[in-house]
């Protein structure tokens, strides 16, 4: 097995090679800066120092880490070092600001921009008694820090303000009212994960010793409590609301724990908030259901998903397993599809696990059959009349540990049965580790060892009443006949027996008017019936509840695998203004020969030549003598050079000189540019890069890189065959042995995944192949260097380095491509995802070919607005240290089996921390390539099931809605009228009313130049180009869901309240948009 040092050496060697290539390219002076602009940082301490810009910070963080401080303790204690001037002398308020920013940076592993962009500033103000208090101004990007870091930033501010002699904040009553009002308005326009009561908000504001303030993030002003003396804006402060609600209110329990440990006074009000929060009911299960995203089962309902504990090699980290047959049957679920389960967390992703139970369905001929394979679903799909039970859902113990949700009784399963048999006989249990017993063997084992009947032959006895149980037993004894291995029961007129069998999930078919049950021994023994159909309690076998916990599940977002495109999608970050037309086409701008655009220019100090800021050397004398600002000097640094006035650019000569340099034919590609530049100093990219991107069919992102986005999925083990990896290539990449230490000789052996290796989708491979070809063209034609990749097929990408980046972060993670999957997702190690501050609950991240990022990324391209540094690879983490990643990944279970004590604890609904299950946290003393992880459940293929969900394959919203309602009608655990009403309430009504408001306040636009107008000009035409003026909100968008809503209300007999709301809305719409066929009446018509 490859050692960690050799794995890291392989990565480092390739990283160094690409760094050298990027340096050689940048030295040509054809980019805004002469070197690669991505800082490579080795650990958290170095990242925090680079982000905050305070020298010596990294060394002190390492000291505190070595002293055994937790991440939270470190974040708070570092503030005292600022107080003691260990990093230099600062003003009192600057000390508080540095302490708060540093605390947030430490808590977010130094990979998000929240410490810079999410905290605008820290100020002081006066209480009414004259004492001085602290105000922390938060902005929108603080969301990327997460609720815990948001809340602890306030605690850090309080921790330091005491040492600095600042008083606690004493809010005025009108300020308290303003907080309550702003939270309500923000929740309505942007939504919140959690909404406390008005009294709870008042309690927080009155008790919090720090003033949680913020900059305006929304254009909307508050309706009351305006022009307050100590509040700087009348507009909604989104950052303040996020910290107050998703930070303090949501994380009250965590804050209280730290307050108690530190002995801080003034936070006693938290105890009341924690108690109140614990008593609150969960948000309604269908509270945000929308059209096209079905419900697969209601909470605690027979036929919904049965909770089964364990982890497969592709689950954990908020990813759950379903049988691929169930996925195919439901249609709306593919690998990577997000779901919203009732518990243990808010969301998760689905992956295929074929070692758990699939769905049970009733066919049109009355038969009840189990579907455990995709082939069976394909064969019987058109015969399915009803989905009686959707099967099991596999959830990792680690997901309960992370959320703190109490364990719930799990499905009685083969692994649980084995643990009970082991307690009686280890020798006997060893015989059945790899295969279940047949029915006769299971019955014999139940009698001999006094253990419950094996779950394969256990029915859902808890789902029927004792009366139904007795009725079934009597009917079998009176009306049943046993013919060899088949039990025939004459069905009663009302179908009660069949209904009971369906509730029990006893598989059967109809034969000559009777219910036929094959191999009925287990059923008979459970009812206490002998083979001659007589009652005898001595024959009864012991059973366990097969499905004690049913979990409600509905669809969230569909899976994603698609190249990143801006809207509209450009090839080049070069401005053409309005000269390029609506499509920003370069060929349209060329018709003008010379264009005037807002673009940054640089002036050579040697010859005085003025040249476009896309280059860092003078195109006349070759000098690089001009001022270039230092980048990331401190938390508030901004570029301070260049000119942004409109300049005349000879686009014709510039274009033709560029294509001559590239050796390309003129007008060969339709190059799409940008209308204008969004960076502070309007720095453009060299046009040659855009020409080559257009040639290769790839698109640029705002920072100069080419991105590919897909859904995150976890993977700890793989088979070379399933990811398209040959044995020869696997060994070349360092995979010489399987997970059990045997030499790799077959492509179906299970291999443990190295922590920075990834498996990308086939679609991503096709796109990245084009990106590699673009980069080779760029190196050879633009920079005059040798090509690097030489890739002609996706297999040539195996072993190539990528950079993984989450959109809310500013740190890229080094990765390596080792295979491909049919799934629309990116499979990677839990530590890789956690290093990006991600779990796998449906979020999507991007990958970039590393060389593209090193050469083409530039800080000069980033937007001027706050938050512009998010989703940009400011730093690169070359090697993952599991101790520094989000702790959720360390909670993933890695045991081969769960002990009997675990299942007993789940039956008692104990807390997860009260149970001892081995997790990843026990194996991370030193960073390694692999850690010896194991898992409990096998799966045949990580890409089994549908390739894409119906949500993606169906075209219109009406088609998706029809499929959603059709599924609701055939799933027994779903109430179709409830779904229809929720869709109307949560989606259609809001959409109709929102579009109605938007129609009345809309802006107009020019059909040609896209100029915007608040009102139509008196001329009726565009004042710029004379073209037609069009509305931005059309009548059709207002009315599109009205008719279908009314139809649904009648078809599903929805409540009078819902129908009346729709009818009133219909009257409003009809009065505003009368029938086009009706003529407006004249006054004389009424005379």
- Whether residue 398 has pLDDT greater than 90: yes
- Whether residue 636 has pLDDT greater than 80: no
Q: What is the pLDDT of residue 998?
A: 84
Mean pLDDT, range 517-543, rounded to an integer? 94
Q: Domain check: are 725 and 693 in the same one?
A: no
Listed residue (22, 1, 4, 23) closest to 12, CA to CA: 4
pLDDT in tens, 743-758: 999 999 999 999 999 9
pLDDT in tens, 104-147: 999 998 988 899 899 999 999 999 999 999 999 999 999 988 88
Residue 485 falls within a domain, yes or no?
A: no
CB proximity list for 348: less than 8 A, separation 6 or greater: 318, 319, 320, 338, 339, 341, 399, 840, 841, 842
Q: Domain check: are 712 and 687 in the same one?
A: no
Residue 594 falls within a domain, yes or no?
A: yes
Q: What is the pLDDT of residue 283?
A: 56
Q: Domain check: are 823 and 779 in the same one?
A: yes
**3 state SS of 338:** strand
- Whether residue 635 has pLDDT greater than 50: no
The answer to whether 884 touches 109, Cβ cutoff 8 Å, is yes
- Whether residue 806 has pLDDT greater than 80: yes
Structure tokens at 852: 């593209």
- Whether residue 640 has pLDDT greater than 60: no
Q: What is the pLDDT of residue 33?
A: 94
- Cα–Cα separations (whole angstroms), residue 761 to 559, 561, 929: 12, 7, 23
Residue 433 falls within a domain, yes or no?
A: no
Residue 50 falls within a domain, yes or no?
A: yes
- Residues of the chain with pLDDT > 70, as a percent, come to 96
Q: Domain check: are 631 and 765 in the same one?
A: no
- Tokens 């009548």 found at: 1035
Among the ranges given (11-25, 442-456, 628-642, 1072-1086), the one the predictor scored with the smallest mean pLDDT: 628-642
- Mean pLDDT highest for which of 447-461, 1026-1040, 1069-1083? 447-461
Q: Which domain range does residue 872 map to?
A: 708-880
Residue 299 falls within a domain, yes or no?
A: no
Residue 271 falls within a domain, yes or no?
A: yes
Q: Could you tell me the pTM of the whole model? A: 0.92
Which of 848, 880, 912 lies at the terminal end of a domain, its last residue?
880
Supply the mean pLDDT for the chain.
92
Q: Domain check: are 719 and 849 in the same one?
A: yes
Q: Domain check: are 609 and 733 in the same one?
A: no
Q: Domain check: are 215 and 93 in the same one?
A: yes
Residue 460 falls within a domain, yes or no?
A: no
Total count of domains within the chain: 4
Among the ranges given (489-498, 752-761, 941-950), the one the predictor scored with the smallest mean pLDDT: 489-498
Q: What is the pLDDT of residue 2?
A: 44
Q: Domain check: are 838 and 784 in the same one?
A: yes
Q: Domain check: are 756 and 797 in the same one?
A: yes
- φ and ψ at 179, to 5 degrees? -60, -50
Q: What is the pLDDT of residue 758?
A: 98
- Whether residue 1079 has pLDDT greater than 60: no
- Whether residue 1076 has pLDDT greater than 60: no
Mean pLDDT, range 810-838, rounded to an integer? 96
pLDDT in tens, 856-894: 999 999 998 888 888 999 999 999 999 888 889 999 999
- Whether residue 63 has pLDDT greater than 60: yes
- The strand pair at 348-352 and 319-322 is best described as parallel
Q: What is the pLDDT of residue 689?
A: 97
Which of 828, 846, 880 lies at the terminal end of a domain, its last residue?
880
Residue 630: HSE in the Cβ half-sphere, 13 Å Cα cutoff: 8
Q: What is the pLDDT of residue 264?
A: 81
Rounded Cα gap, residues 720 and 750, in angstroms: 8
Residue 284 exposed, middle or buried by CB count within 10 Å (0-12, 13-18, 19+): exposed
Among the ranges given (49-63, 249-263, 584-598), the one the predictor scored with the smallest mean pLDDT: 249-263
Q: Domain check: are 53 and 186 in the same one?
A: yes
Rounded Cα gap, residues 271 and 818, in angstroms: 50
Q: Domain check: are 723 and 578 in the same one?
A: no
Residue 113 falls within a domain, yes or no?
A: yes
CATH of the domain at 1058: 2.20.28.10
**3 state SS of 1060:** helix
Which of 850, 880, 910 lies at the terminal end of a domain, its last residue?
880
Rounded Cα gap, residues 66 and 47, in angstroms: 17
- Residues of the chain with pLDDT > 90, as a percent, come to 75
Q: Domain check: are 678 and 723 in the same one?
A: no
pLDDT in tens, 167-181: 999 999 999 999 999
- Whether residue 471 has pLDDT greater than 70: yes
Mean pLDDT, range 379-392, rounded to an integer? 97
Helices (H), 944-1078: 950-953, 957-970, 976-983, 989-1000, 1035-1039, 1042-1051, 1056-1072
Q: How many helices (H) and strands (E) would you count in the chain?
A: 35, 36
Q: How confident is the model at residue 1081 (pLDDT cuts 50, 70, 90)?
A: low
The residue that leads in pLDDT, 232 or 1035, is 232
Q: What is the pLDDT of residue 777?
A: 98
pLDDT in tens, 717-734: 999 999 999 999 999 999
Percent helix, strand and coil across the chain, each to the nearest 5: 40, 15, 45
- Whether residue 334 has pLDDT greater than 50: yes
Q: What is the pLDDT of residue 628?
A: 44
Rounded Cα gap, residues 924 and 918, in angstroms: 12
pLDDT in tens, 241-289: 999 999 999 888 888 888 888 788 889 999 888 876 655 545 578 888 9
Q: How confident is the model at residue 784 (pLDDT cuts 50, 70, 90)?
A: very high
């Amino acid at each position: 097995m490859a050692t960690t040092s050799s794995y890291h050496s392989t990565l480092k060697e390739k990283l160094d090679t690409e760094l050298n290539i990027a340096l050689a390219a940048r030295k040509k002076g054809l980019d805004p800066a002469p070197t690669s602009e991505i800082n490579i940082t080795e650990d958290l301490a170095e990242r925090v120092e680079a982000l905050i810009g305070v020298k010596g910070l990294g060394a002190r963080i390492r000291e505190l880490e070595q002293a055994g401080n937790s991440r939270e303790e470190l974040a708070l204690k570092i503030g005292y070092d600022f107080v003691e001037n260990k990093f230099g002398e600062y003003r009192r308020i600057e000390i508080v600001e540095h302490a708060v920013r540093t605390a947030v940076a430490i808590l977010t592993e130094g990979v998000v921009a929240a410490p810079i962009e999410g905290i605008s500033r820290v100020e002081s103000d006066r209480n009414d008694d004259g004492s001085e208090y602290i105000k922390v101004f938060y902005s929108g990007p603080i969301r990327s820090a997460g609720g815990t870091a948001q809340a602890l930033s306030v605690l850090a501010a309080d921790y330091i303000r005491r040492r600095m002699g600042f008083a606690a904040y004493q809010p005025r009553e009108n300020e308290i009212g303003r907080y309550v009002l702003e939270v309500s308005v923000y929740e309505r326009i942007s939504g919140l994960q959690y909404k406390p009561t008005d009294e709870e908000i008042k309690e927080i504001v009155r008790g919090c010793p720090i003033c949680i303030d913020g900059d305006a993030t929304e254009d909307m002003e508050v309706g009351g409590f305006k022009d307050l003396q100590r509040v700087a804006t009348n507009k909604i402060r989104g950052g303040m609301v996020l910290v107050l609600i998703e930070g303090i209110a949501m994380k009250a329990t965590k804050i209280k724990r730290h307050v108690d440990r530190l002995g801080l006074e003034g936070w006693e009000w938290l105890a009341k908030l924690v108690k109140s929060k614990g008593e609150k009911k969960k948000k309604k299960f269908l509270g945000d259901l929308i059209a096209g995203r079905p419900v697969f089962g209601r909470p605690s309902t027979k036929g919904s998903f049965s909770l089964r504990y364990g982890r497969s090699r592709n689950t954990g980290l908020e990813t759950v397993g379903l049988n691929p047959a169930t996925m195919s049957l439901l249609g709306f679920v593919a690998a990577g599809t997000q779901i919203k389960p009732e518990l243990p967390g808010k969301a998760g992703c689905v992956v295929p696990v074929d070692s758990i139970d699939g769905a049970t369905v009733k066919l049109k001929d009355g038969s009840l059959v189990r579907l455990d394979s995709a082939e069976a679903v394909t064969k019987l799909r058109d015969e399915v009349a009803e989905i009686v039970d959707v099967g099991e859902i596999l959830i990792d113990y680690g997901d309960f540990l992370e959320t703190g949700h109490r364990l719930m009784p799990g499905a009685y399963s083969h692994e649980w049965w084995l643990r009970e048999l082991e307690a009686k006989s280890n020798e006997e249990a060893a015989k059945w580790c790899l295969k279940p017993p047949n029915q006769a063997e299971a019955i014999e084992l139940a009698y001999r060892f006094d253990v419950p009947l094996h779950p394969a032959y256990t029915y859902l006895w808890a789902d029927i009443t004792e009366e139904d149980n007795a009725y079934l037993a009597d009917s079998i004894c009176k009306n049943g006949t046993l013919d060899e291995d088949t039990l025939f029961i004459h069905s009663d007129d009302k179908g009660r027996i069949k209904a009971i069998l369906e509730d029990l999930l006893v598989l059967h078919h109809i034969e000559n008017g009777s219910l036929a049950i094959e191999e009925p021994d287990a059923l008979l023994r459970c009812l206490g019936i002998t083979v001659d159909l007589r009652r005898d309690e001595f024959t009864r076998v012991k059973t366990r509840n097969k499905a004690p916990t049913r979990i409600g599940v509905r669809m969230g977002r569909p899976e994603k695998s698609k190249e990143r495109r801006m809207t509209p999608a450009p090839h080049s970050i070069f401005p053409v203004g309005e000269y390029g037309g609506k499509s920003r086409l370069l060929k349209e701008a060329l018709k003008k020969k010379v264009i005037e655009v807002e673009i940054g220019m640089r002036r050579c100090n040697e010859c005085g030549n003025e040249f476009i800021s896309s280059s860092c050397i003078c195109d006349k004398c070759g000098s690089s003598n001009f001022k270039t600002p230092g980048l990331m000097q401190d938390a508030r640094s901004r570029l301070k050079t260049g000119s942004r006035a409109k300049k005349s650019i000879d686009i014709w000569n510039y274009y033709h000189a560029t294509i001559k340099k590239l050796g390309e034919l003129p007008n060969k590609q339709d190059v799409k540019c940008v209308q204008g530049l969004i960076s502070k100093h309007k720095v453009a990219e060299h046009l040659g890069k855009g020409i080559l991107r257009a040639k290769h069919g790839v698109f640029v992102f705002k920072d100069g890189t080419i991105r590919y986005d897909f859904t995150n999925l976890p993977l700890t083990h793989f088979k070379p065959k399933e990811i398209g990896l040959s044995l020869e290539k696997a060994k070349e990449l360092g995979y010489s042995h399987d997970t059990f230490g045997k030499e790799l000789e077959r492509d179906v052996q299970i291999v443990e995944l190295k922590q920075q290796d990834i498996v990308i989708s086939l679609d991503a491979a096709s796109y990245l192949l084009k990106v590699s070809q673009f980069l080779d063209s760029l190196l050879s034609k633009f920079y005059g260097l040798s090509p690097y990749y030489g890739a002609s097929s996706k297999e040539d990408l195996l072993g190539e380095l990528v950079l993984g980046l989450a959109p809310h972060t500013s740190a890229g993670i080094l990765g390596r491509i080792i295979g491909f999957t049919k799934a629309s997702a990116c499979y990677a190690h839990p530590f890789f995802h956690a290093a990006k501050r991600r779990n796998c609950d449906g979020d999507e991240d991007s990958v970039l070919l590393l060389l593209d990022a090193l050469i083409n990324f530039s800080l000069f391209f980033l937007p001027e607005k706050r938050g512009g540094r998010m989703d940009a690879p400011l730093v690169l983490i070359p090697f993952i240290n599991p101790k520094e990643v989000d702790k959720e990944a360390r909670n993933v279970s890695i045991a081969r089996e769960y002990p009997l004590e675990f299942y007993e604890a789940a039956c008692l609904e104990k807390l997860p921390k009260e149970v001892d299950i081995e997790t990843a946290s026990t194996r991370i003393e030193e960073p390694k390539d692999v850690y010896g992880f194991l898992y409990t459940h096998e799966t045949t293929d990580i890409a089994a099931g549908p390739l894409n969900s119906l949500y993606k394959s169906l075209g219109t919203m009406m088609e998706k809605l029809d499929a959603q309602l059709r599924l609701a009608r055939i799933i027994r655990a779903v109430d179709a009228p409830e779904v229809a009403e929720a869709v109307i309430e949560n989606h259609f009504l809001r959409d109709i009313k929102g579009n109605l408001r938007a129609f009345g306040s809309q802006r107009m636009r020019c059909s040609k130049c896209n100029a915007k107008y608040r009102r139509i000009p008196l001329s009726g035409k565009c004042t710029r180009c004379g073209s037609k003026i069009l509305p931005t909100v059309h009548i059709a968008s207002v009315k599109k869901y009205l008719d279908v809503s009314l139809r649904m209300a009648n078809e599903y007999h929805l409540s009078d309240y819902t129908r009346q709301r729709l009818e009133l809305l219909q009257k409003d719409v009809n009065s505003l948009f009368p029938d086009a066929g009706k003529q407006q009446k004249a006054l004389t018509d009424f005379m």
